[in-house]
Structure 1
């Protein structure tokens, strides 16, 4: 099971590395509360198609070390870039979901694009959600504070109550099994309370309005019409307008969990964005690469 040390404080961070050693590389930055395995419906089929897919477990998430410090956007972006350095990855496509899009953007604006060829922002919270001078149309901070109090009181109940809206199950075609919902909630609860609340604070203070115009790589923005966690007009549409080279794809009936409900469509769009794969078979089950 591969790990690397955070370049910031040496925290032990877990990552997955699937697919062939050569060919286009996609590096996945997951949503809040979840590890890289939330991307199974993208990483596995892309790896089988000849793409190298690397997924990071954010500190305090998945199998990565729990830390008390480091839940600020600069540190999280440094952790992501540290993985690129650790594996000496080049011509990477960064793929972020939700808060992972903020880590992708900050990684690019903080470290440049020497290792990165393009970026995909999926159901992103970028440029920001909460009302501030730079985001006058954002959500009322008082609403966010009240939501935080509910979250702190009972995370398990919070996730269960949010699941239907997360997947927009009331919309046509968005069918997810109760077993899968239970699985995802269980995975969310593996994120430590400190990490969970730390990442929520990042989202509450997020405003990337001034940074997005400085992103110097092509950007694919994917968003759902019925994303209640990050409404498309506040996030995806604005992000696509702010980046110099942005393409917006809006999925009809898509919620925040479109990585599951619209898995095949998202995988196909990522594959097109990545370019041709090597056509090589995926690494056999159990064949783990470390230290590359």
Structure 2
């Protein structure tokens, strides 16, 4: 089982590395509460198509070590960059979902583009969702505090109650099975309470509009019209406007969990985006975990 150590404090972090070693590289950073498993509908088909797919479990998530500290955005971004250094990856398409988009952005603005060629922001909370002087239409801090109280009182009930909105299941075409919903809730509960609440604090304080404006590389923004966790107008549309070289792809009736409900479309869009930056054509190859 592959692990590496955080360059910040030595925390042992788990990752997967699937597909051929010579394939174009796509690195995935997951949402809060979950690990690399959330990307199965992207990593498996892309690896089978000849891509090298790498995904990590954030500290306190999945199979990575449970630690008390290191949940500030700089450290989380340094953990991501540590994986890129550990595997000596180059020409990377770096993909983040939800709060993972903030880690992706901070990784690039903090460590540069020597390894990363392009960035994909999927259902991101970036550049921020909380009300500030320059985002008066953002979510009120009082509403966030009330939501935090519910979360701390009963995480299992919180995840279960919000599942329908997460996947936008009010639309029949966004079908996911009750078994899959239970699986995702279980994944969320596998994150340590400390890790879960600390990552939520990152979202509550997030305001990285200036960093988006400084991303000097191609950026793909994928977002759903019915994302209840990260409203399109506050996040995806703003992000696409702020980056110098960005493309916004809006999925009608998609929610925050579009990685599952719109899996095939997202995988195709990520493949097209990654191939555009590849130095050579992708050759079909037999995937295998190293």
TM-score w.r.t. length of structure 1: 0.97
Q: Secondary structure of 1:211's match?
A: helix
Mean Cα displacement is larger for which, 229-238 or 167-176? 167-176
One of 263, 277, 284 as aligned partner of 1:279? 284
CA distance in 1, matches of 2:84, 2:205: 26
Equivalent residue number for residue 3 of structure 2: 3
Equivalent residues in 2 for 1:105-116 (5 A)? 105-116=105-116
Tell me if structure 2 keeps the 8 A contact 1:72–1:202.
Answer: yes
Tell me if structure 2 keeps the 8 A contact 1:30–1:98.
Answer: yes
Tell me if structure 2 keeps the 8 A contact 1:134–1:209.
Answer: no
- The unaligned stretches of length 5 or more in structure 2 are 276-280
1:25 matched to 2:25: yes
CA RMSD of aligned residues (A): 0.7
Equivalent residue number for residue 263 of structure 1: 263
Equivalent residues in 2 for 1:176-215 (5 A)? 176-215=176-215
Tell me if structure 2 keeps the 8 A contact 1:172–1:253.
Answer: no
Runs of 4+ aligned residues of structure 1 deviating over 6 Å after TM superposition are none
Q: Secondary structure of 1:248's match?
A: strand
Q: Secondary structure of 1:21's match?
A: coil
CA distance in 1, matches of 2:231, 2:37: 24
CA distance in 2, matches of 1:239, 1:66: 32
C-alpha displacement of 1:171: 1.3
CA distance in 2, matches of 1:268, 1:211: 27
1:35 matched to 2:40: no
Count residues in correspondence. Answer: 285
Q: Secondary structure of 1:222's match?
A: strand
Equivalent residue number for residue 96 of structure 1: 96
CA distance in 2, matches of 1:138, 1:9: 34
Equivalent residue number for residue 230 of structure 2: 230
Equivalent residue number for residue 278 of structure 2: none
Equivalent residue number for residue 220 of structure 1: 220
TM-score w.r.t. length of structure 2: 0.97
CA distance in 1, matches of 2:282, 2:29: 21
Equivalent residue number for residue 163 of structure 2: 163
C-alpha displacement of 1:133: 2.6
C-alpha displacement of 1:77: 0.2
What's the CA shift string for 1:156-213, capped at 9, x where partnerless? 0000000000000011310010000000000000000000000000000000111101
Tell me if structure 2 keeps the 8 A contact 1:32–1:199.
Answer: yes
Equivalent residue number for residue 65 of structure 1: 65
CA distance in 2, matches of 1:216, 1:129: 23
- The unaligned stretches of length 5 or more in structure 1 are none
CA distance in 1, matches of 2:228, 2:122: 14
CA distance in 2, matches of 1:278, 1:71: 39
CA distance in 1, matches of 2:92, 2:283: 15
C-alpha displacement of 1:72: 0.5
